[in-house]
Amino acid sequence: MSISRNEKGKEKILLLHNKQLKRLSTPYSARWISTSFGNTHLVETGNLEGSPLLVFHGGNATTAYNLLACDFLMEDFHVYAVDTIGHPGKSAEVSLSPHNYDYGKWASEVISAIGYESICCFGGSFGAGIIAKTMCFAPKKMKCAVLYVPAGIKNAPAMNSMSMLFPMIMYWITHKDKWLKKCMLPMAVTEENVTNDIYDTAKLSIDYAKVKMGMHSNVAGKLMR
């Protein structure tokens, strides 16, 4: 089942994805790997002599957008940046449940497919939640991890996420820019923080993808190793 609302929208999302990749400060190559959940697209870039680092982006976004925001990693790390399966981007349009450890299983298969027994990982928000699920599902695959504002670890009350829902509905009804920007404020805090890349990526996801509102369920503390 497609996560795109229509083919035109999918084309626009992929066009922006490619444009953003071309703006990276370092050369890159695209790779496709197989997992039991479907084909997964990742971008290999950064310092190919550096320490390997697997990077996960936030929900309803793409790895191309995330790499522009993570330019500070490029000098020191050999970056493998994955398009999360079931989210906008180039990976298979297979939606996994955020309420179990399927994302952890998927990520562990990605690690094996790129040729590592274990690797350091970096991610924020939904992407950090994937790392947390992987730490529970396959702890030996996790060499080290940096998680910022992670989903899945003592999640904020669901009502906090609802603050995005009303402006999103109003945007879908009115198509007014002011409501689109209000959708982003719970994460961006102020409109000044909404860069063109944030705006363009969010707009296409909200307009043309089946937005995923749910975050990862909290991981079991006893499994976090």
Task: Write out the DSSP string of 183-218.
Answer: HHHHHHSSGGG--HHHHHHHHHHHHHB----PPPPP
pTM: 0.89
**Which has the higher per-residue pLDDT, 225 or 8?**
8
Task: For residue 142, give its domain range.
Answer: 7-156+212-223
What integer is the mean pLDDT of 56-63?
93
In a domain, 58, yes or no: yes
Q: What is the pLDDT of residue 115?
A: 97
Cα separation of 18 and 6, whole Å?
19
Please count the structural domains in the chain: 1
Q: What is the pLDDT of residue 9?
A: 87
Q: Which amino acid belongs to residue 184?
A: M
In a domain, 182, yes or no: no
* Phi, psi angles (nearest 5°) of residue 56: -115, 135
**Which has the higher per-residue pLDDT, 152 or 213?**
152
What integer is the mean pLDDT of 44-72?
96
CATH number at 49 reads: 3.40.50.1820
